[in-house]
Structures are given as C-alpha cells and as structure tokens.
Amino acid sequence: MDYDVAEANVIKAKYTLMYNGEVIKVLRGEE
C-alpha cells in the first residue's frame, strides 16, 4: 500500500513540475 502511494506521489510531482515549467515559459514569453 505504502509503495503505491509513494509511486502516485512521484508521478504527481513529475507532472506538477512539468506543468509549472510550461507556465513559467508562457509567463516569460508574455513579458
């Protein structure tokens, strides 16, 4: 159980970082 939760958190963190990176690119492009 703990392993599944940890795996889900890792995947969520990766997608969050990717999403934040795209948002930063857009914001920098608008400046």
Residue 30's Cβ-side half-sphere holds a number of Cα atoms within 13 Å equal to 6
How much is the pLDDT for 30?
A: 74
* Calpha distance 24→17 (Å, rounded): 10
> What are 1-31's pLDDT values in tens digits?
688 999 999 999 999 999 999 999 999 997 6
How much is the pLDDT for 23?
A: 96
Max distance between CA atoms of the chain, in angstroms, equals 45
CB-based contacts of 18-21 (< 8 A; 24+ apart in sequence):
none
* Prediction pTM value: 0.59
